[in-house]
Structure 1
Amino acid sequence: MGKRHISLKDLAEELGVSISTVSRALKNHPDISAELTQKIQQLAHERNYVPNPLAMGLLRQQTKMIGVIVPDIVTHFYASIISGIEEIANQHGYFCIISSSGESFQKEVESVRNLLKARVEGLIVCLSQGTKEFSHFNRLIETEIPLVFFDRVPSGLNVPTVTVDGVSAVKSIVHHFYENGCRRIAYISGPEHLSITQNRNRGFREGVAECGLPFEEDLLVSCNMSPGNANAAAKKLLAQPKLPDAIFGINDTVAFAAMKEIKRQGLKIPEDIALVGFTDEFHSTVVDPPLTSVTHPTFEIGKVAAGLFFKLIEKGGSFSENIVLQTELVVRESSKKKR
């Protein structure tokens, strides 16, 4: 039979019985004689037969599979969220198929299509950086396929979401800088269409106002969150006649790029420029100086997103519920000015 998986049909043909007889014997059904049951189970053991959950699920119209789409599967941020999703999924007897969009809209569309072909029961998604329209998700909502978003979420869709309070998080960064003597606080932001960018930009403006500082347009620059583009944004800030005395990035990747450029120009962190990141990747603790960053409850985000998914399964329809979790500013050496 080669190396393909052994099926019920293979066992039935070898024994000259029906597929249903084999199926019932493997479940110790009383209608099948003890002798035949033993014979079928012995053959299944010898042939290393393993039940196919997908085939069984298709018969019940329930595959017990969840599709999860994330921008990447490399960073600890998404890996931890996936772990949270998987914990709740396992408790419900489900498992996850993970797909990375690679920050590409087209790849995200393909991921949705491929996961649905694999017969997942629904999707848990963090939008790619390139996603600006949601027609590929509207079709799922119209057909009541369970759909939950986390972190980067769409606007205007009647779906459950899990996010963090980005406004409060960035305000805490600005206040932290101010309390450490910083007065020219700069921010390297992300693409304008992303929900996380919009919330953090608002937090920046409100934080600056609360500290009694003027809002200066040239202290807010944007990038596409890639290291190269973030480096260019940092260069733009450092080329100003009057340097900023503090910079924070929309994520740690951006902050690391800024750190590299600050050092390249011979400036010291935090003496010349204090620095703060966002998402608190593991590398924050091993760079020099250790990076102050906003840590997310990533595992909890995953658990909550999965909880919303199963709420959709139980309701058998769609609803809108927006859960907002809190973050924590973890202060390290990169932002503590030595007075």
Structure 2
Amino acid sequence: MNNRKQHRTSLKDLAKELNVSIATVSRALRSSSEIGHEMQEKVKALAKLRNYRPNPFAQSLRKEAPKIIGVVLPNLVTHYYAAVLDGIEDEAKRSGYSVISANSHESFDIETQAIDNFINLHVEGIIACLSQSTTDYSHFEEIAEMGIPLVFFGRTCLKERFSCVTANGDQAAQMATQHLIDTGSRRIAFIGGPNHLDMVQRRKHGYLEALRENQIPIERELVKCGSIDYDAVLSNTVTLLKEQKPDAIVAFNDIITFAAFNAIREAGLRIPDDVALIGFTDDVHAAFVTPQMSAIVDQAHQMGATACQLLLKNIAGDTGVYHKIVPQKLVIRGTSAKKPQ
């Protein structure tokens, strides 16, 4: 028995082989007058040769003229992304749209496949947050070429071409770091995700600005940016605590925050007496640990709703590129409650 998974030829496969855009292939297969007869015949011949079959689900959806939005998220099991999706769905529903979501699992390959699937499904528009491994943006450039509305949130790219919704992570990180300084910390570490992500860059910048403003030397050994992986962060933070002995940590997101929290405990240190901690995380889980977590909290539902509002404007014909900021809130609790020196 052959267990090898059969590869179904997609529009993207045909476009790549012919060295043309996906839009050209799609229009040629529909015998659009925008495409010359010779190119139409060339595309149709290759489609037959490669046994290309249009997605029947997509065709039925198109026949019924649905109003569907596709959403690509890096990690749907986290509260933050679930809350963003909830905001998107609420806003979409009010305007008569349905939402299909895809979890990239922080993988570039899965992200690109999700985008390809959405194109084949003829969604009205796409909302996306980059996976941590995405450094090639050509799949999004293809969307621009095809004229499919696209809005980014959180982790973004190609800001000159697409609208986006972000948080004020630089200001929030600066406020959090300043709070740690005001309560006596001086050797403050920053644990972030991959350096190429704009979200990481913004939050790290705010942390560094707070150190500069307080004339605290920047120690590169205390700035650790890498994969957003719980086990790796846990292990690396235990090493950081033993070798560099920071007295506080600013953590990039919820996965890193709770990995750092457990690393401090694993190292036999007290929170906040030995090591204070503030993380970018959701308010729900922050309140359920002991001591309760000081947190930089996203307005995730609002971020999703705002991204959907921008997408709906694009779908309606507004070609403007908008950059919206949804502010974060600093909530001080037990993990950073050192007494001022």
- Normalising by the residue count of structure 1, what TM-score does the alignment of the two structures yield? 0.80
1:171 is matched by which residue type in structure 2? Answer: Q
Shift of 1:239: 2.4
SS at match of 1:315: coil
Shift of 1:232: 2.7
Task: Tell me the matched-pair count.
Answer: 285
For residues 230 and 204 of structure 1, the distance between their equivalents in structure 2, rounded to whole angstroms, comes to: 19
SS at match of 2:91: helix
For residues 113 and 155 of structure 1, the distance between their equivalents in structure 2, rounded to whole angstroms, comes to: 19
Residue in 1 aligned with 2:248?
246
On the 8 A contact 1:223/1:229 being kept in 2, the answer is: no
On the 8 A contact 1:279/1:293 being kept in 2, the answer is: yes
For residues 93 and 224 of structure 2, the distance between their equivalents in structure 1, rounded to whole angstroms, comes to: 43
From 28, 43, 58, the equivalent of 2:62 is 58
In structure 2, stretches of 5+ residues that fail to align are 1-56
SS at match of 1:149: strand
For residues 282 and 97 of structure 1, the distance between their equivalents in structure 2, rounded to whole angstroms, comes to: 26
What is the percentage of aligned positions where both structures have the same residue? Answer: 36
For residues 135 and 157 of structure 1, the distance between their equivalents in structure 2, rounded to whole angstroms, comes to: 15
The two structures, once aligned, show a CA RMSD in angstroms of 1.9
On the 8 A contact 1:160/1:321 being kept in 2, the answer is: yes
Shift of 1:59: 3.8
The answer to whether 1:90 aligns with 2:110 is: no
For residues 132 and 160 of structure 2, the distance between their equivalents in structure 1, rounded to whole angstroms, comes to: 18
Matches within 5 A, 1:193-272: 193-240=196-243, 243-272=245-274
2:150 is matched by which residue type in structure 1? Answer: L
Shift of 1:319: 3.2
SS at match of 2:170: helix
In structure 1, stretches of 5+ residues that fail to align are 1-52
The answer to whether 1:179 aligns with 2:182 is: yes
Structure 1 residues 281 and 99, CA gap change in structure 2 (3 angstroms):
farther
- Normalising by the residue count of structure 2, what TM-score does the alignment of the two structures yield? 0.80
Per-residue CA deviation, residues 266-299 of structure 1 (Å, 9 max, x unaligned), is: 1100000101110225321111211111100111
SS at match of 1:293: strand
On the 8 A contact 1:270/1:334 being kept in 2, the answer is: yes
On the 8 A contact 2:75/2:105 being kept in 1, the answer is: yes
Residue in 1 aligned with 2:297?
295
SS at match of 1:239: helix
Shift of 1:212: 2.2
The answer to whether 1:332 aligns with 2:338 is: no
Shift of 1:205: 1.0
SS at match of 2:243: coil
Residue in 2 aligned with 1:76?
79
Whichever of the two has the greater Rg, that structure is 1
